[in-house]
Amino acid sequence: MVSVATVSRVLNQNGYVNEETERRVRQAMKELNYKPNEVARALFKKTSKTVGLIVPDITNPFFPELVRAVEDVMNIYDYTVILCNSDEKVEKEREYIEVLKQKYVDGVILTTNQFAPEEVEEWDVPIVVLDRPLHERYPSVVADNYEGARLATRHLYEVGCRRIAHIQGPNHVVNAMERFRGYQDEMRALGLGDRQLVIQGNYQLKQAKEAVMAALAEHDMDGIFAGNDAMAVGALKAVQQCGLRVPDDIAIIGYDGIPLTEMTTPELSTVSQPIYEMGAMAARILIKQIEGKPLEKLHYQLPVQLVVRQSTSRRGLT
Which pairing describes strands 223-226 and 269-272: parallel, antiparallel, or unpaired? unpaired
As a whole number, mean pLDDT of residues 202-228 equals 97
Q: Give the separation between CA 308 and CA 73, rounded to whole angstroms.
A: 31
- Write down the mean pLDDT value for the chain: 90
**Least confident range of 130-134, 188-192, 293-297:** 130-134
Q: What is the pLDDT of residue 290?
A: 96
The pTM for the full model equals: 0.84
Q: Is the confidence at residue 296, as pLDDT, over 70?
A: yes
pLDDT bin (cut points 50, 70, 90) of residue 8 is low
Q: Give the separation between CA 26 and CA 303, rounded to whole angstroms.
A: 50
Burial class of residue 153 in the structure, from the number of CB atoms within 10 Å of its CB (0-12 exposed, 13-18 middle, 19+ buried)? buried
pLDDT bin (cut points 50, 70, 90) of residue 92 is very high
Q: What is the pLDDT of residue 3?
A: 77
**Least confident range of 125-139, 197-211, 235-249, 303-317:** 303-317
Q: Give the separation between CA 138 and CA 263, rounded to whole angstroms.
A: 37
Q: What is the pLDDT of residue 122?
A: 82
Domains of the chain, with CATH numbers? 4-36 (no CATH), 47-143+275-303 (3.40.50.2300), 145-273 (3.40.50.2300)
pLDDT bin (cut points 50, 70, 90) of residue 11 is low
pLDDT bin (cut points 50, 70, 90) of residue 318 is very low
Q: What is the pLDDT of residue 139?
A: 95
As a whole number, mean pLDDT of residues 34-63 equals 75
Q: What stretch of H or E contains 81? A: strand 80-85
Q: Is the confidence at residue 316, as pLDDT, over 50?
A: no
Question: Cβ contacts of residue 257 below 8 Å, gap of 6+?
Answer: 229, 270, 271, 272, 273, 275, 305, 307
Length of the chain (residues): 318
**Other C-beta atoms within 10 Å of 149: how many?**
27
Q: What is the pLDDT of residue 110?
A: 94
Distance of CA 147 to the CA centre of its chain: 18
As a whole number, mean pLDDT of residues 48-61 equals 93
Q: Is the confidence at residue 163, as pLDDT, over 50?
A: yes
pLDDT bin (cut points 50, 70, 90) of residue 315 is very low
**Least confident range of 16-20, 24-28, 214-218:** 16-20
